[in-house]
Amino acid sequence: MFGAKTCQVERYKQLRNALNRVCARFAETITEDIFEQAGKKLGMLRKKAMIFDNESEFDVLVDYCLYDVYRGNRNLVERWTDFADELTDADERLILDAMQKAHYSIFKITGLEPGMGARIEDCLYESEELFLYDINISNSALSDIRFGGRILCADDIVMTTGAMLPFFQRSMWLAENVVATMCRRFKAKSLTELTRKQKSEVTAAIIYIALAYGASRLVEFRAPFANETTNEPVGYEYEPEEIRRLHPKDPCICGSKKNFGACCGRNR
């Protein structure tokens, strides 16, 4: 099994390159209005200007634009299927197909295989343990940290579509609250029952929380994740500084129209 995975790494690299090529082409077609809509949802649009803390935030925005902004009933990835014939490369077509079924969630890393990837558990949807091919994560992540991100599966290889945002105890607690509140509001027992558009709302809230807790800054740090000032490695217990304030009097990120302090942010 170990050996099988090692040769799969080469296949993973080919597919990863195909994904990067396809994404670069799609990203060029994101229009201003889509950027604006996504930027607003993720808390990046402030006073009509898009503000990015760093490059990872921009990657997260592009990813959200491709998968979670709808025009009619289709996201940008689906609208691209009309032009699938333009993709002459077999891997690119495989990737385009996999992109239709990609999903966003928070994953817990249960084990690492350096140079290859990590075993992960889906914290929000029921699923079997997966093997995520990701060389960066395999060499850097501490094993009990959770990551928010989107995964897809092509040729039996599971990979992420973009930057994975770390969640720590406090932001995870908040994300779980928000997911539970949103499911109740949408009258669903679990995320599985939500419509795609409702899932996109949940994804926006999850990303908002991660960014509020400075997740995108940590992504860029040396391996393993380290505190910005002390350079000490951090674990799940780490409490990152709240860089985008979640004010108790602000409308809650779950969209309930209640104040954050009286809704998902209660008993912090």
* C-alpha distance from residue 177 to each of 1, 83, 106, 172, 211 (Å): 38, 40, 13, 9, 16
Determine if 264 is a binding residue for Zn ion (CB under 5 A): yes
Q: For Zn ion, which stretch binds (CB under 5 A), given 19-27, 70-78, 150-158, 258-266?
A: 258-266
Among 252, 262, 266, 268, binds Zn ion (CB under 5 A): 252
Q: How far apart are CA 204 and CA 130, in angstroms?
A: 24
Return the number of the residue (18 or 264) whose C-beta is nearest Zn ion: 264
- The reply on whether position 181 binds Zn ion by CB under 5 A is yes
- Interface residue with Zn ion among 188, 256, 259, 261 (CB under 5 A) is 256
Query: Is 203 a binder of Zn ion (CB under 5 A)?
Result: no
| DSSP reduced 3-state for 24 | helix
Considering the complex, what minimum distance in angstroms separates the CB of residue 135 from Zn ion?
A: 37
DSSP run (H or E) holding 174: helix 169-185
Does 218 sit near Zn ion (CB under 5 A)? no
In the 8-state DSSP scheme, what is residue 229?
T
> Which sign does the torsion angle of CA 88, 80, 157, 165 carry?
positive
- In total, the chain counts a number of residues equal to 268
CB of 206 to Zn ion, least distance (A): 13
Residue 62 or 264: which CB sits closer to Zn ion?
A: 264
- Give the interface with Zn ion as residue ranges (CB under 5 A): 181, 252, 254, 256, 263-264
